[in-house]
């Protein structure tokens, strides 16, 4: 989708530190990390938010969690733990309107609300 920063990353129109890629999913380092490990796992299909997921996307979401599991091991956070975050909409502070899954770890994470 035009004017979507994550679509531009997916299409290699802007650079990013990609750590995983297959035909449906990409993962790259967050440009403004809030934890020692901060990676974004993103479906290549442009889906704006959790509220735009369709029945047909169920398998894709399952695959995203398989990638998250694999990356957690590669990033070395699987034993100490990590957080997976998907912000949806204004109150959650979603800034990029292309659904994504933050992997946060590498330190004790505070619960901020």
- Residues engaged in binding ligand AMP (CB under 6 A): 5, 16, 28, 30-32, 40, 87, 93-96
C-alpha 58/C-alpha 43 separation (Å) is 12
> Which x/- pattern over 17-56 shows residues binding Zn ion (rule: CB under 5 A)?
-----------------------------x----------
- CB nearer ligand AMP, residue 33 or residue 76: 33
- CB nearer ligand AMP, residue 46 or residue 94: 94
- Residues with Cβ < 8 Å from 60, sequence gap 6 or more? 24, 25, 43, 45
C-alpha angle 94-97-36 in degrees, rounded to nearest 5: 55
Task: Identify the active-site residue in 38, 46, 98, 100.
Answer: 100
Q: Which ranges of 1-113 would DSSP assign to H, the alpha helix?
A: 5-10, 58-74
Is 100 catalytic? The answer is yes
C-beta of 53: minimal distance to Zn ion in Å? 14
- CB nearer Zn ion, residue 13 or residue 112: 13
CA Rg, the chain, in Å? 14
C-alpha 10/C-alpha 40 separation (Å) is 12
Which of these ranges, 6-14, 17-25, 51-59, 76-84, lies near Zn ion under the rule CB under 5 A? 6-14
C-alpha 59/C-alpha 31 separation (Å) is 28
Tell me which residues are annotated as active site.
100
């Amino acid at each position: 989708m035009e004017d979507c920063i994550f679509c531009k990353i997916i299409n290699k129109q802007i650079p990013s530190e990609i750590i995983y890629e297959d035909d449906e999913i990409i993962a790259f380092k967050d440009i403004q990390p809030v934890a020692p490990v901060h990676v974004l796992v993103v479906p290549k299909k442009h889906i704006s938010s959790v509220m735009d997921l369709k029945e047909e996307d169920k398998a894709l979401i399952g695959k995203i969690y398989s990638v998250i599991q694999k990356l957690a091991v590669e990033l070395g956070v699987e034993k100490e733990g990590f957080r997976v975050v998907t912000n949806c909409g204004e109150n959650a502070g979603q800034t990029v309107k292309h659904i994504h899954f933050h992997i946060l770890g590498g330190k004790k994470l505070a619960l901020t609300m």
